[in-house]
Amino acid sequence: MKEIVVSCLGGAIERARASGQLKSNPAAIGIEAPKDPAHGDVASNVALTMARAEGKSPRAIAEIIKVASELPPEIAEISVAGPGFLNFRMTPAYWHAEMVRAMGEGARYFRPQKWELRPGGGDRVQVEFLSANPTGPVTVGHGRNAVLGDTIARMLEAAGFNVTREYYFNDGGRQMKLLGESVRARYLQDMGIDAPLPPDGYQGEYICDIARELRASRGDNLAEGENLELFRAAAVEAIFADINRTCDRLKIRFDRYFNELDLIKSGKVKEVLDALRKQNLSFERDGAVWLRGEPLKLPKDAVLVRSGPDREPTYRTPDIAYHIDKINRSFDLIIDVFGADHIAEHQEVIAAVKALGHDTSAIRAIIYQFVTLTRAGEKIKMSTRKATYVTLDELIDEVGADVVRFFFLFRKSDSQLDFDLELAKKQAPENPVFYVQYAHARLSSVFREAEKAGIDFAASGGRANLALLGEEEMALARRSLALRPVMTAAAEALEPHRISFFLLELAGEFHRYYNQPANRIIGTDRGLTVARLFLAGLIKTAIAAGLDLLGVTAPERM
RNA sequence: GCGCCCGUAGCUCAGCUGGAUAGAGCGCUGCCCUCCGAAGGCAGAGGUCAGGGGUUCGAAUCCCUUCGGGCGCGCCA
């Protein structure tokens, strides 16, 4: 549709220039979907943008373009409106053809349309998300990361890009040592030995579970000696299994798990440190190695390698090596999904990678704000170290995977997300998930009724006379078809919430239509019934396609 | 103090990358099933787009500034 209008406008401007009525050439022909349906199907503001160069009023320019345009068969009408907009209305035949095409292609029609990631083409995308270290069950906060990352991957995949989903983690290092010590303490306590939890140790109940399981499988002989490595490994294995189980419930999977330890073992971290030193971007102080903040335009210096006998790198050093590794794997787009608390660290990493001469232009950071849980209007306090947080599993248990996914995708990532448990559990219209799913279930029910009435929609579908549909019905059809450009815009902006909001609107429009007695889909007029079933099928397909992309089920009945 | 994000209806939030009369849900008020799913719909009230400057044909959107809130500023990740 856009293409048709742009080429129509382009031709008109060309002719107007040839005849001397216009002298300038617009930098771009802007096209938009008007908010108000009275303004047609597509609008363009070219006349407004040309006003300055032409020295004429926008309306006058719009008139010139209008007169000079030759309408293709798909465009019914072109008009000048408001301050100088050019509004286009497509012919019913055009819309009917789109409807037939959408029904023919099904969900495929609604997939985001592929665009160029880079000037030279290229379609390799990497999405790194979740990346929670295996120190405990994933929390509600991680949930937003997981669902956001997975859905962005889904959108890009649907658009036809080659997507790698990656989970970056660290199972060595300091926190892991602490984890092992915590399990050991619980193990001994389980045997009745008075062993204190290390200071800052992990207090969660899951540590006790792991200790008990270890005791069940290995008996009491681990009490002799330290065995810290064994405790740590057992904990990591159990926790990772747990994380993967939780992800499965949300239909989230990864193609690759990338271990920070491999970067250290392979010498890549050392290479980074050497390169930084060589370029005088690092220095030693207090026995530690620091990243120089000033030349990188960072607010302060940051530690790369800790002091002490172990010379352990901090988190950011391997992360620099990791990002260089990503760039070297020549992805055309690299997406990092992380919470607002990691912004500073990410800036340091990118600045260092850039300073080392790597092109960071393919990296896009998706930063999401925090999640708060509300129950009956009261905020639930969450602390990870104490066992007061709510795990993602518990959240799924309480409200279900569909609701968890939809709620996390019902805010733009820049906004803080208030997860209202009461609302989430309600199977009522004020709960957006159920509102949308209900529309799908209702539509499914219509087709069940049609079958009962002996109407074989599949056989007659291709012959539906769409000209029988009224204006309200065509508006509903156009709205359904609009899912496609919305999908594309959402994928391109990496903003899945646009799809959620669109689905809510589409569902609302359908409910409104459905509730009017005059709009009974199955009626006595066979031709009209078939046409309306065609429309119902279109809406149903659109809703299902949208929900599917969000990883939410589209139920046939509820 | 510095960096990032946010401030839109009583509440929770959209606003399609600068467009036409700023929207939705909840809540409030009053209505609608002889009817394919009332798990639904209709109507009404409700706004200084935090305040102030600027940019231009045009600003909730871009820039500056003030105020208010969140997050970070660790040899944790």
Does residue A97 sit in helix, strand or coil? helix
The secondary structure of residue A292, as a DSSP letter, is -
CA angle A82, A86, A87 (to 5 degrees): 90
- Would the Cβ of A23 be found within 7 angstroms of any atom in strand B? no
- Would the Cβ of A341 be found within 7 angstroms of any atom in strand B? yes
Closest CA to A160 of A128, A123, A129: A123
Question: What's the CA gap between A87 and A379, in Å, rounded?
Answer: 48
Q: Identify the residues numbered 212 to 251 in chain A whose C-beta atom is closer than 7 Å to any atom of strand B.
A: none
Whether A362 and A331 have beta carbons less than 8 Å apart is answered as: yes
Distance A350 CA to B72 C1' (A): 17
Which residues, 6+ apart, have CB-to-CB distance to A52 below 8 Å?
Answer: none
| Neighbouring C-alpha atoms within 13 Å toward the C-beta of A316 | 21
Amino acid residing at A51: A
Chain B: bases < 7 Å from a protein Cβ: 2-6, 12-17, 19-21, 23-27, 35-42, 56-58, 70-77
Does residue A103 sit in helix, strand or coil? helix
Question: What's the CA gap between A150 and A164, in Å, rounded?
Answer: 11
Give me the tens of pLDDT residue by residue for chain A, a chain 558 residues long. Answer: 888 999 999 999 999 999 989 888 887 788 888 888 888 899 999 999 888 888 888 889 999 999 999 999 999 999 998 888 999 999 999 999 999 999 999 999 999 999 988 877 789 999 999 999 999 999 998 999 999 999 999 999 999 999 999 999 998 888 898 999 999 999 999 999 999 999 888 888 899 999 999 999 999 999 988 889 999 999 999 999 999 999 999 999 999 999 999 999 999 999 999 999 999 999 999 999 999 998 998 888 999 999 988 888 999 999 999 999 999 999 999 999 999 999 999 999 999 999 999 999 999 999 999 888 887 667 776 655 555 568 899 999 999 999 999 999 999 998 888 888 888 888 777 889 989 999 999 999 999 999 888 887 766 556 789 999 998 899 999 999 999 999 999 999 999 999 999 999 999 999 999 988 888 898 888 889 999 999 999 999 999 999 999 999 999 988
Distance A522 CA to B59 C1' (A): 48
Q: Where are the alpha helices (DSSP H) in A55-195?
A: 58-68, 92-105, 140-158, 173-190
Q: Identify the residues numbered 392 to 411 in chain A whose C-beta atom is closer than 7 Å to any atom of strand B.
A: 411
Question: What's the CA gap between A540 and A207, in Å, rounded?
Answer: 47
Which domains are assigned to chain A?
Answer: 2-90 (3.30.1360.70), 123-261+369-425 (3.40.50.620), 428-550 (1.10.730.10)
The secondary structure of residue A119, as a DSSP letter, is T
User: In which residue are the tokens 């599917």 written?
Assistant: A548
- Would the Cβ of A43 be found within 7 angstroms of any atom in strand B? yes
